[in-house]
């Protein structure tokens, strides 16, 4: 490792913590051409960002994200903030010649996402790279799922079935956090977790969603405002505010390779904490991934004799499985946090090689266009076509 990749991160909460762990770990797990240096982290609270820097391992901290972009000793900006700030930070970073890693969804609107994708394409001509952080692509079992599809093991894909179920806002007294406000989050379950299964299915199938028929629902339409500790007055803490995003989104879809699909994203599936599942049914077999069984794939090979057919369990822990050579002996599973380490590994390798990392901002724009079509379909109660981004890499 002859050179460093000096990172400045904006935001230090849930996603900031996962990204920090990835930057701390990546060069200890993988042999890479660049060494990640956790140079500085930015956040709004002076006390909060100072504590986060000390806990998460950053050399310095600031409350001014623009100062990170202005620094000559920072090469990459890692954006871990709510969606309403993604475009401003990413555009400024790209204009300054900084590489960018941006959390999903790419933006809150199609217009913002298009501007970001165009800026990334322009910056790429000068060797500046941009990637959107869809971490579930980096689950080894998911990467193997894509490989099986590419190798033709399930034949022509006919059905795609995807769901992402959570229950963290089932309680109507849960406060009106930023994820429940459209001006900050862009959308609710649709953009927050639906974006993951949209990207994941397009990734593993190599097909783009072209048409959708959707419905969305907001079950709890007002919630208590956050407490004074979140910056509101004590009197405001007793009042309620409107939930302006969806609690659940369901839609049918057609893909450009001929497959038909169903999608469900909800934060009201009582008892389901983070239940992501994708199943593909093809002419020669089927394959399914369940995040609650992170290190496994279910695989059905229709070419076997009838006496041997049935879903088999593939334990994805062998050294020749994607990413797994960096970790433990076969049979020793890995976890959620490893997906972020794999993500920054791929980004570092792409930057060092001078190639475009995936998912690119164009790929992330394609997801944004699907989110927009789903929203429009739910409003019109009609089938709605998805605008296609220019040459997504998938």
pLDDT higher than threshold 70 for residue 310: yes
pLDDT higher than threshold 70 for residue 230: no
Tell me, what's the pLDDT at 127? 97
pLDDT higher than threshold 50 for residue 237: no
How much of the chain exceeds pLDDT 70, in percent?
Answer: 95
SS3 197: helix
pLDDT higher than threshold 70 for residue 394: no
Tell me, what's the pLDDT at 393? 60
pLDDT higher than threshold 50 for residue 231: no
- Closest by CA position to 284, among listed 148, 142, 140, 394: 148
Burial per residue of 117-132, b for 16 or more beta-carbon CB atoms within 10 angstroms, e otherwise: bbbbbebbeeebbbbb
Compute φ and ψ for 209, nearest 5 degrees.
-75, 130
DSSP 118-180: HHHHHHHTTT--EEEE-GGGGSHHHHHHHHHHHTTTT-SEEEEEEEEE--TT-STTS---GGG
Specify the length of the chain in residues. 394
Compute φ and ψ for 69, nearest 5 degrees.
-70, -30
Which residues are paired to 165 by β-bridges?
266, 275
- Find out whether 334 and 320 touch, Cβ atoms under 8 Å: no
Taking the model in full, what pTM does it have? 0.94
SS3 275: strand
Domains of the chain: 3-136 (3.40.50.720), 139-385 (3.30.360.10)
- pLDDT band at residue 391, thresholds of 50, 70 and 90? low
Average pLDDT over residues 248-255: 98
- Closest by CA position to 356, among listed 111, 100, 130: 130
Angstrom distance (rounded) from CA 22 to CA 165: 25
């Amino acid at each position: 490792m002859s050179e460093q990749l000096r990172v400045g991160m904006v935001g230090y909460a849930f996603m900031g913590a996962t990204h920090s762990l990835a930057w701390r770990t990546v060069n200890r797990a993988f042999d890479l051409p660049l060494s990640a240096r956790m140079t500085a982290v930015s956040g709004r609270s002076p006390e909060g960002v100072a504590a986060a820097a000390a806990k998460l391992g950053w050399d310095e901290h600031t409350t001014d994200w623009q100062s990170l972009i202005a620094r000559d000793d920072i090469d990459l900006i890692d954006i871990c903030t709510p969606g309403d700030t993604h475009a401003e930070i990413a555009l400024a970073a790209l204009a300054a010649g900084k590489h960018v890693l941006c959390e999903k969804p790419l933006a809150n609107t199609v217009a913002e996402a298009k501007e970001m994708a165009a800026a990334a394409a322009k910056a790429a001509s000068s060797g500046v790279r941009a990637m959107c952080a869809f971490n579930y692509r980096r689950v080894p079992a998911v990467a193997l799922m894509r490989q099986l599809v590419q190798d033709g093991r399930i034949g022509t894909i006919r059905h795609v079935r995807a769901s992402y179920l959570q229950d963290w806002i089932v309680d109507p007294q849960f406060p009106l956090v930023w994820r429940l406000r459209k001006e900050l989050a862009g959308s609710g379950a649709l953009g927050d977790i639906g974006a993951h299964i949209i990207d994941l299915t397009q990734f593993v199938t190599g097909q783009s969603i072209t048409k959708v028929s959707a419905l969305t629902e907001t079950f709890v339409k007002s919630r208590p405002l956050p407490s004074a500790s979140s910056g509101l007055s004590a009197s405001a803490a007793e009042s309620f505010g409107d939930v302006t995003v969806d609690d659940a989104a369901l839609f049918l879809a057609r893909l450009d390779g001929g497959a038909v699909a169903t999608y469900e994203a909800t934060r009201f599936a009582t008892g389901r904490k983070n239940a992501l599942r994708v199943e593909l049914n093809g002419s020669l077999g089927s394959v399914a991934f369940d995040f609650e069984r992170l290190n496994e794939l279910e695989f059905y090979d229709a070419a076997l004799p009838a006496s041997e057919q049935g879903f088999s369990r593939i334990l994805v822990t062998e050294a020749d499985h994607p990413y797994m050579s960096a970790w433990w002996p076969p049979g020793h599973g890995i976890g959620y946090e490893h997906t972020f380490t794999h993500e920054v590994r791929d980004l570092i390798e792409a930057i060092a090689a001078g190639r475009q990392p995936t998912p690119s901002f164009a790929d992330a724009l394609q997801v944004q266009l699907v989110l927009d079509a789903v929203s429009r379909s739910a409003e019109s109660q009609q089938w709605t076509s998805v605008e296609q981004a220019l040459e997504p890499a998938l």
